[in-house]
A and B are shown apart, each in its own frame.
Chain A
Amino acid sequence: MNNFELLFQGFTVAFALPNLIAALLGGILGIVVGAMPGIGAVTGVSLLLPMTFKLNPTTGIIMLAGIYYGNMYGGAYSATLMNIPGDSPAVMTALDGYELTKQGKPGKSLFAGNVASFIGGSIGIIFLTIFGPLLAEVGLKFGPAEVAALIFLALTSIGWLLGDDPVKGLIASGIGVLLSTIGIDGASGLPRFSFGNMNLISGISFIPLVIGMFGFSQVMEMMQPGSSTHAEPAKRLTLRESFLDRSEMKRILMPSLRSALLGNFIGFLPGAGGTTGSFLAYVMEKKVGKNRAQMGKGAIEGVAASEAANNAAAVGAFVPLLSLGIPGSATTAVLLGGLMMWGLRPGPLLFESDPTFVWGLISSMYIGNLVCLVAGMAIIPFLMSFLRIPTKIMAPIIVIICIVGSYSVNNNMFDVWFMIFAGIGAFYLKRYAFPIPPVLLAFVLAPRFEISVRQALSISNGNAMVFLQKPIALGLLLFTFALLLAPVVMKIVAKIKKSYK
């Protein structure tokens, strides 16, 4: 039987009433949990995992996949409406999403995000259906040197791409990397930079950091006299105003498609994840997009690029998970735990040994993606009504959510203290034009970068030439330097042209 026949068979499994209900319930719960600042996909899936214990394995995993999916959709909502990314991939969505909200177009941003998520998810599932096991092998060609080169590309472009001042952007990225080195060193198992504090031995938690730097600093800005930070619309927004017209749909179509392809590929790479995917897609859009000048100032293309790549990467992560048993992200690691709990052993043999389960799961993704699109659209009016809350009331709500959300991550008050500290730090950094997203993105990407660099150097007995001997790594490094040098070269070319004239 070919993949399509197996998929058709899978649909008969997915359309069984319990599985259909499980996908629906999982999708809706995932959106709700994902939209809550501070919860995030990993925590969301972990918290909802026990709900699936009473179901049979196929139904349980279908529901988990729905939760995972819904989380990816939901993460964009708090980023767009409150400038608090629910999870790291949504950091890029907040850049343009919140700007659109400030311009009185929150519905357009949410709508664009939903449509792009659907496109990204669909492309990811189609690729999983057709090329699943084959793509997993391509992903495996990315060893430590290649992954390090890929993340180096992301890390170097973060600083000078976000914000007006490349020096301040790069300082922000550097600070993010230094913060990520606090805690246990993944390679040697020794604690670093913990200052004798027990709470820092396990490192800094991302969620309190992101809540502080985005959410809490936002409230501090709201408290400034004459502040116009809170996106409080002057008039009641209707659902009709949120729909994208034909020209806007056209504007997001190409960014969504190319970002989905890139994000899906990043998803195949073990450990790269949605954050790298959404960031690189945003970078690509800023370089090649038609509306690149508007990126970061409220462009729907920015929201679409980030969301399409994020969702495509989320599905892409299923490829190494199912075919090789390697989780591509922290959330898929939780899913792997779920699979193993039911006695399923992901790996090359899973497609042959348990086709009913694998293809039932893949076909349920098509349904789950559609469910999330419809559910996401349905809750847009409710979400927009949230924006009608005046600043005077919004500020305490955000502060309370910041405190409770930070505590919930590790059930530890230290995280709340750290969140406040991060918020104050971010407030003053923003005041002096230091961009905040590079700190967070570098913080997320750096641990993987460090492990990959050190693994590559250890394998080659400390020979740094390993990065130049691998064709993929060399190509990525050359591309990075080309990107870095491009503005300088363009300036020189422009000067030469001017002097000739």
Chain B
Amino acid sequence: MEILLALVFMTVSGYWLQQGLAVYGFYVDGKPGSGFIPVLFSILVMILSAIALVRAVRTKRAAPSKATPAGDASPTVSADIDSWKTRLQPLIPAAIAIVGIYAITYLGVVVAVALIAFCWVRFLSHYTVVRSFLFSVPIVLFIYVVFVWWLRVPFPRGVFGF
């Protein structure tokens, strides 16, 4: 993954470098152009990413030689870290937030916040229905009073009109 990150950084900075030189201009009419800072910093990021890449490759190559003796717990821990559950579980908030975006757009902020809070506490935190309901009410009230009523943030009203 570290190798992948370094490659992503190199690609992104490469794009910035190309655009900075070819499209925006590094020096235009003897003065720095719009691409001046992007070019300088993309070169810096490319060099540093290359260093990070070399280091990551070396670490990966050296890893098998440092293999732990039989019976050591490390391989099991490593396998656990790389398991799909560990990889996907942190993405649950992102999935819920994406659902939240559509819920706010189509149902309005009050209903959407109530649903997110209730469903999370009920199904992810495994609280009872009553406790989940009791928890979601103050959250909705807080969001409504502060953001809708006091700060007058114009949220989408959704099908219910609020």
A contact set with B: CB distance below 8 Å: 36, 39, 47, 167-168, 170-171, 174-175, 177-178, 181, 185, 187-188, 190, 192-193, 216, 219-221, 223-225, 392-393, 395-397, 399-400, 402-404, 407-408, 411, 413, 416-417, 419-420, 423-424, 427-429, 431-432, 434, 446, 449-450, 453-454, 457-458, 461-462
Interface flag for B153 (CB, 8 Å): yes
Q: A175-B45, A411-B154 are in contact. Are A396 and B34 (CB under 8 A)?
A: no
Chain A residues with CB under 8 Å of B41's CB are 174, 177-178, 181
Chain A residues with CB under 8 Å of B120's CB are 395-396, 399
B101 and A417 contact, CB distance less than 8 A: yes
Q: Given B2, B85, B143, B151, which contacts A432 in the complex, CB threshold below 8 Å?
A: B2
Q: Given A168, A396, A413, which contacts B101 in the complex, CB threshold below 8 Å?
A: A413
B contact set with A: CB distance below 8 Å: 1-2, 5, 9, 12-13, 16, 19, 24, 27, 30-38, 41-42, 44-45, 48-49, 51-52, 55, 85-86, 89-94, 96-98, 100-101, 104-105, 109, 113, 116-117, 120-121, 124-125, 127, 135, 139, 143, 146-147, 151, 153-155
A413 to B97, CA, bound (A): 11
Chain B interface mostly helix, strand, loop or mixed?
helix
Q: Given A224, A407, A416, which contacts B153 in the complex, CB threshold below 8 Å?
A: A407
Q: A177-B37, A424-B94 are in contact. Are A171 and B48 (CB under 8 A)?
A: yes
Q: A181-B37, A225-B86, A400-B139 are in contact. Are A171 and B121 (CB under 8 A)?
A: no
Chain A interface mostly helix, strand, loop or mixed?
helix
- Would you mind naming 20 contact pairs between A and B with Cβ atoms under 8 Å apart? A168-B52, A170-B44, A171-B48, A171-B49, A174-B48, A175-B12, A185-B34, A187-B34, A220-B91, A225-B86, A399-B116, A400-B116, A400-B143, A402-B97, A407-B155, A420-B94, A420-B98, A432-B2, A454-B32, A457-B31
Q: A192-B34, A416-B101, A453-B32 are in contact. Are A396 and B45 (CB under 8 A)?
A: no
A410 to B69, CA, bound (A): 56
Cβ of B45 to closest chain A Cβ, rounded Å = 4
B24 and A190 contact, CB distance less than 8 A: yes
Cβ of A404 to closest chain B Cβ, rounded Å = 6
B86 and A224 contact, CB distance less than 8 A: yes
B5 and A416 contact, CB distance less than 8 A: no
Chain A residues with CB under 8 Å of B135's CB are 393
A462 and B31 contact, CB distance less than 8 A: yes
A175 to B89, CA, bound (A): 27
B38 and A192 contact, CB distance less than 8 A: yes
